[in-house]
Amino acid sequence: MAQQPPKKMKIAVLTSGGDSAGMNAAVRAVVKMGILRGCETWVVREGYEGLVKGNTEAPSNYNPSTIQGNPINLPDSLKNDTLVRNLRFGDGPLLRDGEGDTSDASHSLKGRYIIRVGWDDVRGWMGEGGTFIGTARSTTFRTPEGRLAAAKNLIKEGIDALVVCGGDGSLTGADRFRSEWPDHVKTLRANGDIGDEEVQKYGHLKIVGLVGSIDNDMALTDMTIGAPTALHRICEAIDNINTTAASHSRAFVVEVMGRHCGWLALVAGISSGADFIFIPERPPSSDNWAEEMCACIKAHRNVGKRKTIVIVAEGAHDKNLEPIRADDVKKVLADQLGLDTRVTTLGHVQRGGRPCAWDRILPTLQGVEAVEVLLSATPETPSY
């Protein structure tokens, strides 16, 4: 009896939680490496919410120059070439331009959240910020019913491997989804949604997580995707603030992101020569943080420094776990030191824009490694 050829792995990649520069590079790397290793590659729009919604519409025959991703009129020698057979599927421009939900009936992504993509569909994504495939914080996926629907939609499309790029919450959800997968398969079989053949084929979900977060807050991870670019944005902003602060001999309180992690505040403070930094990991040691800060800044002013920069991480607190807010710092500087003080909250400027060089290299390396891990994974392999 002739042996059946090995089943081709179908890999889907999604981005979840807050966006970060480098996510597009990660998606691109997973897609291109997957194709080079003989896999079918898919993207999931709108994160876990897209998994829950799945596909209710069939793809349109928009691009007449492609048939299942293949250019027509191919010589016989290229018809089975992996790259050629996965060259493009026509939805790349809609994803890149953010026009997937257009009302144009001839070509739209409405009703389609799990989409097959080819090599050219992710061309030019490396240097673009944000995430072209969208991200959303899905409350539905947090429920057992939502995760069951997600499992059904993956099996419906024949997908047996998943790459998730997101932060702590997104990767926690991915690990839970993987641990519950066998139970979801049993429930779908009991409900008659899948047959015995699908149970055999999709009894195990291979899953890999890539840490995409500007906060750099994941344990055992040297650097998260998006953190270097966010740091670059903060340093640029403080460099600009420095000139006007020195001109007017003002104090500026700069609030940066990071949630409960002070990495951005700490490293930006070192990089920009800030006078004082508030981070959650190391609150001021004295009971009166205002006196401690004022003593430091007064010493700087006494030696002739014309400007003052104080950086506050958004999760900063004192030794008693009471929040330290930018407006609180401003009031202290104005009332106790008499400084003309302004507050600048950088907000989402830190998250947006094109990725720096390292946020192109790092997600590319991680995307390549993610595909290799999926190809070598077994049911006994832990989540990565």
As annotated, the active-site residues are 215
Decide: 70 and 87 in contact? Cβ < 8 Å: yes
Q: How far apart are the first and last CA of the chain?
A: 37
Planar angle of CA 94, 96, 97, nearest 5 degrees? 65
* Residue type, position 174, single letter: A
Rounded Cα distance, 281 and 326, in Å: 17
Please give the full DSSP string across 117-148, using - where no structure is assigned.
Answer: --TGGGTT-TT--S-TT-----SGGGSHHHHH
Residue that is written with structure tokens 């030191």 in the block:
337
Q: Which amino acid is at 345?
A: T
Six token digits for residue 253: 């309180």
The radius of gyration computed from the CA coordinates of the chain, to the nearest angstrom, equals 25
CA angle, 368 then 215 then 353, to 5°: 70
Q: What backbone torsions phi and psi does residue 70 show, to the nearest 5 degrees?
A: -105, 130
Sign of CA dihedral 21, 27, 30, 35: negative
Reported as half-sphere exposure (CB side, CA atoms, 13 A), residue 327 has a value of 0
> In the structure encoding, which two tokens stand for residue 172, read together?
């926690």
Element (H, E) at 3: none
